[in-house]
Each structure stands twice: as C-alpha cells, then as structure tokens.
Amino acid sequence: MKHIRTKLKDSDIQKLFYKRYGTYNPLPKLPSIDFTPPIYKGPSYEKAQSMQAENVFPQRQMYEEPLLLHSGKMQWLFDYTGKRYLDMFGGIATISVGHCHPRVTDAIIKQTRMLNHVSCVYEHPKLYEYVEKLVSTMPNHINTVYLVNSGSEANQLALQLARLYTGNQDIISIQNCYHGVSGTLHGLTALSATRYNQPVEHSIHHTMCPDVFKGIWGGKNCRDSPAQTQRACKCSQNHCFAADKYYEQLEDLFTYSLPRGNIAGFFAESIQGVGGVVQFPKGYLSKVYELVKTNGGLCIADEVQTGFGRTGEHFWNFQSHGVTPDIVVMAKGIANGFPMAAVATTSDIAKSLNPGFHFNTFGGNPVACAVGISVLEVIEDEKLQQNSLEVGTYFIEKLCGMRREWSIIGDVRGKGLMVGVELVEVKQDESDNKVHTMPLNSRAITHIKNDCSKMGLLLGIGGARSNVLRFMPPMCITKDDVDFTIVVLRRAMQNYYEAKYRNNI
C-alpha cells in the first residue's frame, strides 16, 4: 500500500496555517482547584529512572519521559515537580471515586487502628458488613462472595469454579478480550500483545469479536451507546442482524471445535476494555448466554473495568445486555486503588470448592473490606453513577463533534465514563486504486499522547493495534474537566496535522 496524506477539511487547514503563520495559541489552562500538593522529598528523577532500569521488573512506559508521580487529589495527579495532571485514565478504571478521597482515607485509618489483618481463617464484622452491601447490588441469585486481591486472581477462581461445577473443561472467550495474563488466563486473554511464545491450554477457545466498527458486520444502528459508528447497516432499532451474524460464528465453534452439551463456561467483558472499549451489537450477549447454558456451561461476566456504576445507566454493565450471569468477577474500582477483587456467584456454585482446598491469605482483609464499604457509600451518597451518565454522555457528544471535524477520528464509542476514540489514517492501494482506512501508526499515536501529557492530560491507549485513546477517569470528574480534555485533544490533533504537513511523522 502507498501512504497518502489524510485529506484535511477547510477548517483543519485554516487552523493549521493560523497556528503556523498567525498568533500562537497559549497552552490549554487546567481548571482551577483549591489544593496544594506536598513538596516531593523522594529519590531524584535520575535515580528513579536508574532503579527502574536496573532493579525493577521491566514495564512498558506510557510516555517518552516517564512520569514520576507522588501525590493525588480526586481527579488530579501531581508529579515530583508539582506539575498537575487531569487523570482521565484513573489507573485503568481503578480510581472510581477519586484519588485520596477523604472518606476512603478515613476508613483505612480507622480500620487500621482497630484491626488490620487476621486472614480468612477467622471471622470479623467488616467482612459481613461488606458482603451484605455488595450482594445487595447483584441479581437475587448471586448471593455468595469470595474476596481476593486482583482481577486476575478473581478470573482464575471463576474459571476454576466453572470447571468444578460443570465437570467440563472447555472455556470460551471472545477475540480481543483481556481477562488477565497469569497462569491459565494467558490463554483466556485473546490479544497478541499479551502473549509469550509459550503453549496455552488446548481447551480454551476464542470466538470472533463482534466489533461493529471494523468487524465484518455492523454499523450505525448496532450499539447501545450515545455514539454510533458511521458505517451503514441494514439493522433496525428493534433487531440487529449483525448480532445474528456474529452469533452464527459462535455456533460454528460449537459445531466444529467443542464437545456439544459439555462445555464449562463462557467469559465476556460487557464492554472490552484493554481491547479498545469495544461494544458488542445489541442482543448479541443474550443469544450467546442462552446457547452456552443450553450446552451445560456457566456464563461469567467480567465487570472488572465496567462495574460500580462506571457506564452510567446500570451499576453493572451486564445489566445493559439484559443477561443474567452465573458468576460475576469484579476488581479495579471496587476499592478505589486498594488491592481488592471479588468473585460473586450462587451458593450452589460456590460449594464446588468444598471437596478441595482453596485459600487466599489476604482475601477479605479487614482494611480492604472497610475500603470497599466506603467506596459503595461514596458512589451512592455522591451520586457518582448518575455523574458518570451525565458527564460521560456530555463527553461522548463532544467527541462526536470532533469526529465531524477531524478525519483522524474514525470512531467514538462507549457509555458513561468508559470511552474510546479510535484513531485512523488513510492509505491507497495501488493495485485497485482504492482508499482504505487503517489504524493510525504508532509514531503518530506516541506524538499525540505525549502532547496531551505535556499539556496536563493523562489518557490510556488500547486496542489490538494500540490506536485507541481510552478514557476511564475517576467518576467525580466535571463538565469543566471534559471541556479541558476536548481543548487539549483539539490542540494535540492540530499539532499532529502540522507535524504531518511538515512530513515529520
């Protein structure tokens, strides 16, 4: 394929040349706050980078100049110099109610002074207080909770429960999914970027990802979202033919690759997170759940990134699909950054662990339970689920406006405060002289995200091609924060176009 320059709209060209030859616009101004971070007293930036390179297991750095953060306040983060950033990634949907929320901090201090650890071989009241509050948010049959420390642990336990309860082995997940990378989960997750050159279980299967933006089927009537893809489709508001087609792909998997009537379970995120905020067509999951249960399997809802009101309309996003899971897995926002996760299921399924021995040293820790209680109370008292719906919808609508102006934005999607923006470029195939939309290249993505960081905006990157901007901020953000985000994104796009015009990218 031959690369061609993206066709700029007149408004884009005017902005580009105004910036190049006219008055240079000042950097976007962060919304004002009444908070001063403490003075940084840790190791020097240079020492931190040296230790990161020599003494810490290698991690992928988000930015060309790694951020050394040391303080946080609600939706704000501060680096070692005192520079302030709007955190629109929230530790990957983990900071649910705000960095260092005073009620969460007070709960930690109060419980630590009372009892900080006894392990689950003993009983303590905070465990029962938390479990009672948590199951009250669930469907009635989901009444038993096992507390662990991370989403990966929770998914591993859910997988084990499905196999123990059904007596079957085969597990299904969806291409482009992320359920963790440890142990068996290395095979359950279906993203090549997470894979090592090691064998995975033969009894784990991946069905086609029903992505209505770049998949085979789907278009402008298929998503449960304020933003629809711009592709045309024949689907109606009452029936999604794309869902039927993707479902048929799963039926083929049952026909050719699975022991019919004897599967263990099906894992699905209700919106794919790491995969780039991919939403399934309406009606797809309900049809899949029925097929799985007919064939003896359990349905596992991975709500690690979508739970706790983040998507706005529902506390758990599986509810938006009209499905009833057998097991619900949750983590991240469950404790606002404290190491905690949970598996919730029926009492009958939970009893599958009784014949053997399953133990978690820190699961159900008194401090973790106190934090979990405070998070649930803050979400309710401060109406953060409603804020996610209102501010998130406002954000998505603003992004859709940008999509109409900037050809680099191929798709906007998501619900509430779980939002994805897929960036694209145009290439021309010399063999047929057709123009094709392709994922934006990695150099351009790096340019844009680094620009955003320099202007005080932190965001995430996702998708199989790492070309999706991911926004999953603390659920306390405001419309002013959204407006700042939009201004920064516009400026970053403008900078990208100018660099492209100069042939620097």
Chain centre distance of CA 503: 34
pLDDT higher than 80, residue 16: no
214-215-219 Cα angle (round to 5): 75
Q: H or E stretch including 154? A: helix 151-166
The stretch 317-331 carries a mean pLDDT of 97
CA atoms of 13 and 36, how far apart (whole Å) = 40
Q: How far is CA 421 from CA 190, 296, 304, 396, 471, in A?
A: 21, 38, 20, 9, 8
CA atoms of 400 and 412, how far apart (whole Å) = 6
Dihedrals phi, psi of 308, to nearest 5 degrees: 65, 35
The stretch 117-125 carries a mean pLDDT of 90
247-287 pLDDT, tens per residue?
999 999 999 999 988 999 999 999 999 999 999 999 999 99
Dihedral angle of Cα 216, 217, 220, 225, to the nearest 10 degrees: -90
Q: What is the pLDDT of residue 500?
A: 79
CB burial of residue 234 (10 Å; 0-12, 13-18, 19+): exposed
pLDDT higher than 70, residue 193: yes
Please, are residues 71 and 38 in contact by the beta-carbon 8 Å criterion? yes
pLDDT category at 502 given cuts 50, 70, 90 is: confident
346-377 pLDDT, tens per residue?
999 999 999 998 888 999 999 999 999 999 99
pLDDT higher than 70, residue 26: no
Cβ neighbours for 136, distance < 8 A, ≥ 6 positions apart: none
pTM of the model: 0.92
Q: What's the token pair of residue 296?
A: 């003896």
298-320 pLDDT, tens per residue?
999 999 999 999 999 999 999 99
Q: What is the pLDDT of residue 5?
A: 41
Strand partners for 344 = 145, 328
Ordered domains of the chain (ranges, CATH): 2-100+384-501 (3.90.1150.10), 139-360 (3.40.640.10)
pLDDT category at 14 given cuts 50, 70, 90 is: very low
DSSP state of 127: H
- Give the chain's mean pLDDT: 92
475-499 pLDDT, tens per residue?
999 999 999 999 999 999 999 988 8
Least confident of 72-81, 326-335, 350-359: 350-359
Least confident of 123-132, 194-203, 246-255, 275-284: 194-203
CA atoms of 444 and 453, how far apart (whole Å) = 14
Chain centre distance of CA 238: 28
Least confident of 14-23, 59-68, 279-288, 496-505: 14-23
pLDDT category at 13 given cuts 50, 70, 90 is: very low
State the alpha helices, DSSP H only, in 382-438: 384-405
Higher per-residue pLDDT: 7 or 483: 483
